[in-house]
């Protein structure tokens, strides 16, 4: 068994082991789930260490032909685009399991669902066969539905139903596009990018545009991009905080990851739809930031800010140049860390105060110094302040945008101003507003495990901002290959 199969199937085997524990052994459910998630994290780190940043193409490839007639295969592999997502997914899953202490009802079912969700997410990022990709994409739907519907808030049933309907609706469009591609000799050496590229060569421009639109809807629901974001705010607010970490930190990145894989192999269609893509991106960035600014519920604020930040991924992708695509990939990692840290800290605050309303949380600075430090750093990073991971991603996106559209990128600066407004407002309300000292007496600050889990995320945000070469070098070769593919397919001057 290769390292990718071991990494992929370990969460599934962990879920099976947890499910087999009887009532007399329920005390072992949490330690076992945490041990499995940490082992997966360590394996993903080992994978990153062994990854050759100078090599082109897919590495650690594994392939087993499943159906010769259809050409489907159990094909796994990683490159500079998928590897950061694998490490991020394993990290946030470990953090989610570590901070699930507030879950006390039906803990066996909860941790089984979390581990199965991790299994599906890792499968999406490793799959090098479209049939396998689609299966893992759908696998994530089932455990996430139960995690929201069973352990969510007061409106959890509506949130889980919205999530399922939106996601399944988007999956239908994605499936239609895959079936359309199957009529154009969708055969390759087992890589997603090559298969799409070979199929596109036999398609007219109109056919490519229609296929890309199907993928745009399917992946756009999960990203989410405006106006396909309707499920997101309710799902984020009602999901348990540890699940919100995964929902925003990883599930949204699945949509962006899939869209990048498709767009870079359909550059002619992307060029034709470029005005639509950039319009959706810029409007989504401003729309999400404005709605985040209007929220008093901290979870809703972070949810709407995710619409804005993920629209930035779409903007970088629409540039079809090295700087913009680099910004999109970096933004996926940066947003995963920042959104994960924000949802974690908001959840920990809710456990102590019983409220997520910003107006109920003044004067936390003196009572919770650890929380204040980490929350302040995370909100400043969400603003794109220099020294944070988001600054590097936004800088690349701005450069790519100016190279492609010039002065239109002024709209981008407006979203940055609105983003700074809601972040600064939250900082001022949480830590600077006057409050009676007696109302905060006895409020517990973050304990060691909570401080460790959230501190790791904040530290990585700073490390990636201060030493961005680590992430840039990891994806540089893959991005160069993507750029060469786009340049070779686009006509001169397009």
User: At 436, is the pLDDT very low, low, confident or very high (cuts 50, 70, 90)?
Assistant: very low
pLDDT at 185 over 60: no
Output the average pLDDT for the chain.
84
Q: What is the pLDDT of residue 69?
A: 60
d(CA 144, CA 247): 8
Look at residues 169, 155, 271, 276 and name the one whose alpha carbon lies nearest to residue 218.
169
Q: Confirm whether 61 is domain-assigned.
A: no
Is the pLDDT higher at 360 or at 127? 127
Q: Confirm whether 69 is domain-assigned.
A: no
Domains: count for the chain: 1
Is the pLDDT higher at 382 or at 362? 382
Is the pLDDT higher at 331 or at 356? 331
Q: Confirm whether 193 is domain-assigned.
A: no
Averaged pLDDT, 426-447: 68
pLDDT at 272 over 80: yes
pLDDT tens-place string over residues 336-358: 999 999 999 998 888 888 778 87
User: At 87, is the pLDDT very low, low, confident or very high (cuts 50, 70, 90)?
Assistant: very high
Residues of the chain above pLDDT 70, percent: 90
Averaged pLDDT, 265-293: 86
pLDDT tens-place string over residues 62-74: 888 776 666 677 8
**Residue 194 CB burial class (10 angstroms; 0-12, 13-18, ≥19):** middle
Q: What is the pLDDT of residue 425?
A: 84
Q: Which range marks the domain in which residue 312 is found?
A: 273-494
Q: What is the pLDDT of residue 227?
A: 84
Q: Which two tokens stand for residue 398?
A: 């701005």
d(CA 359, CA 345): 17
SS3 113: helix
In this prediction the pTM is: 0.90
Q: Confirm whether 408 is domain-assigned.
A: yes
Cβ neighbours, 10 Å, residue 187: 12
Averaged pLDDT, 16-44: 90
Q: Which residues contact 368 (CB under 8 A, 6 or more apart)?
A: 443, 444, 445, 446
Q: Mean pLDDT lowest for which of 82-91, 190-199, 421-430, 442-451?
A: 190-199
Whole-angstrom Cα Rg for the chain: 22
Averaged pLDDT, 357-361: 76
Q: What is the pLDDT of residue 97?
A: 92
pLDDT tens-place string over residues 144-173: 999 998 888 888 888 888 888 888 888 899
Q: Which residues contact 255 (CB under 8 A, 6 or more apart)?
A: 219, 220, 221, 222, 223, 224, 310
Q: What is the pLDDT of residue 434?
A: 60
User: At 41, is the pLDDT very low, low, confident or very high (cuts 50, 70, 90)?
Assistant: very high
Q: Confirm whether 460 is domain-assigned.
A: yes
Residue 425 near residue 293, CB atoms below 8 Å? yes
Q: What is the pLDDT of residue 450?
A: 86
pLDDT at 193 over 60: no
Q: Which residues pair with 64 in a beta bridge?
A: 74
Residues of the chain above pLDDT 90, percent: 26
């Amino acid at each position: 068994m290769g390292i990718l199969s071991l990494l992929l199937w370990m969460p599934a085997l962990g879920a099976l082991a947890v499910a087999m524990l009887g009532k007399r052994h329920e005390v072992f459910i949490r330690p076992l789930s945490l041990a499995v998630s940490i082992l997966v994290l360590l394996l993903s780190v080992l994978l990153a260490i062994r990854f050759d940043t100078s090599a082109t193409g897919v590495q650690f490839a594994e392939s087993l032909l499943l159906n010769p007639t259809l050409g489907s295969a159990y094909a796994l592999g990683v490159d500079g685009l998928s590897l950061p997502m694998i490490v991020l997914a394993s990290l946030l899953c470990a953090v989610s399991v570590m901070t699930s202490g507030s879950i006390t009802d039906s803990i066996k079912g909860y941790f089984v669902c979390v581990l199965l969700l991790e299994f599906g997410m890792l499968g999406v990022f490793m799959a090098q066969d479209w049939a396998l990709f689609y299966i893992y994409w759908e696998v994530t739907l089932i455990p996430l539905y139960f995690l929201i519907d069973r352990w969510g808030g007061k409106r959890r049933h509506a949130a889980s139903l919205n999530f399922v309907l939106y996601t399944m609706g988007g999956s239908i469009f994605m499936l239609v596009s895959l079936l359309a591609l199957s009529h154009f000799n969708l055969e390759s050496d087992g890589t997603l990018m090559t298969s799409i590229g070979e199929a596109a060569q036999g398609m007219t421009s109109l056919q490519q545009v229609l296929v890309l639109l199907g993928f745009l809807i399917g992946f756009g629901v999960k990203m989410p991009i405006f106006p396909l974001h309707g499920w997101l705010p309710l799902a984020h607010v009602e999901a348990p905080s540890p699940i919100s970490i995964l929902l925003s930190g990883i599930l949204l990145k699945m949509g962006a990851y899939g869209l990048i894989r498709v767009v870079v192999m359909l550059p002619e269609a992307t060029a034709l739809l470029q005005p639509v893509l950039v319009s959706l991106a810029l409007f989504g960035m401003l729309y999400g930031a404005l709605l985040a600014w209007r929220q008093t519920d901290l979870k809703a604020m972070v949810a709407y800010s995710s619409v804005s930040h993920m629209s930035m991924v779409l903007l970088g992708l629409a540039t079809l140049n090295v700087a913009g695509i680099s910004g999109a990939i970096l933004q996926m990692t940066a947003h995963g860390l920042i959104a994960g840290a924000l949802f974690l800290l908001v959840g920990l605050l809710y456990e102590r105060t019983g409220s997520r309303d910003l107006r109920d949380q003044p004067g936390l600075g003196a009572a919770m110094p650890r929380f204040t430090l980490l929350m302040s750093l995370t909100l400043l990073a969400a603003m794109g302040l220099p020294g944070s991971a988001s600054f590097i991603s936004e800088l690349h996106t701005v450069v790519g945008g100016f190279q492609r559209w010039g002065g239109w990128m002024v709209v981008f600066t407006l979203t940055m101003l609105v983003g700074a407004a809601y972040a600064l407002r939250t900082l001022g309300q949480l830590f600077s507003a006057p409050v009676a000292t007696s109302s905060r007496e006895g409020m517990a600050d973050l304990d060691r495990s909570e401080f460790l889990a959230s501190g790791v995320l904040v530290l990585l945000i700073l490390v990636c901002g201060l030493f961005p070469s680590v992430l840039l070098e990891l994806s540089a070769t893959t991005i160069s290959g993507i750029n060469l593919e786009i340049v070779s397919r686009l006509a001169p001057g397009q």
